[in-house]
Amino acid sequence: MTNGSYPILAREGQWHMVFATGVALGVHYFAGPVWAAPFWIILVFIVQFFRDPPRQIPDISGVVICPADGKVIALGEVEDPYLKRPARRVSVFMNVFNVHSNRSPVAGKIMERWYSTGKFVNAALDKASLDNERNALWIRTDDGQDIVVVQVAGLIARRILCYVQPGARIARGERYGFIRFGSRVDVYLPRNAQLEVSLGDKVKGAVDVIARFAPPAQEK
C-alpha cells in the first residue's frame, strides 16, 4: 500500500517555494541571470528539501517501519523517558538533504502526546534526545505493543509540526508530521522487539523495517 493523498511537494513548504520563486524571477527580470543565479540555487534547495514522494508501505504483520529518511545513529537498551520502562531505542538522523516528512512506524491508537520545549543542539548528539525541543507520540498497536516515536529538533531545525492528537487511530506509514531543516527521530520499542537495522544504515521512511515482533506462541 502507499501513503495517503499528500502532494509530492510537501504543503509545509508551499509558502517558501512561492516566495523563493518570486524573488528569483524578480531578480532575473530586473538584474539578469547572473545576479539571479544564487536565488535559483536557493529555490532548487527548497524544492528538494520539501519533496515528499509517495512510498510503498510494507504490508507485513508484526513489523515496525522507519518513521523518517536518514541514517541510524544510535541503537541500544535505554530507559524510555516517556513510559518509564526499559526499552530499545532506534535513532535516525535527518540531514538537510533528506525527506523530512514523518510517518507512523506502526498502526494503532494514539494514547498520549507530549511536547517539550528545549535547546537546539546538534541532533546527532545523544543528549539531543532529552535536551532539545521535541514532540513524542505514544502509539498502542491492536496487539498491545507500546511504541513511542519522538520528533527531535536539531541545530538549525526550528519548527516541529505534528497533526495528530490522543484518541485518534493512525495507520502504519501514515504521514503525521514534519520537521524543518535537519533533525532526528527516536523510536522507543518494547524489549521484546527484534531490531532489524545496524548503526550507520541508511534508511527510508515508510519503507524500511527497523524492528519486528515475534509472533505469539501457539497454544498446544
CA dist., res. 100 & res. 151, Å (int): 11
What would the grid cell of residue 28 be? 532575473
Label residue 173 exposed, middle or buried (CB < 10 Å: 0-12, 13-18, 19+).
buried
| Residue 160: closest CA among 205, 207, 112, 102 | 102
Residues classed as catalytic:
183
How many residues in the chain?
Answer: 220
DSSP state of 168: -
What would the grid cell of residue 70 be? 536518514
DSSP 90-149: EEEEE-TTS--EEE-SS-EEEEEEEEE--B---TTSTTHHHHB-EEEEEEE-TTS-EEEE
3-state DSSP helix/strand/coil percent for the chain, to nearest 5?
20, 40, 45
CA atoms within 13 Å, Cβ hemisphere of 111: 14
Work out the number of other CB atoms within 10 angstroms of the CB of residue 138.
21
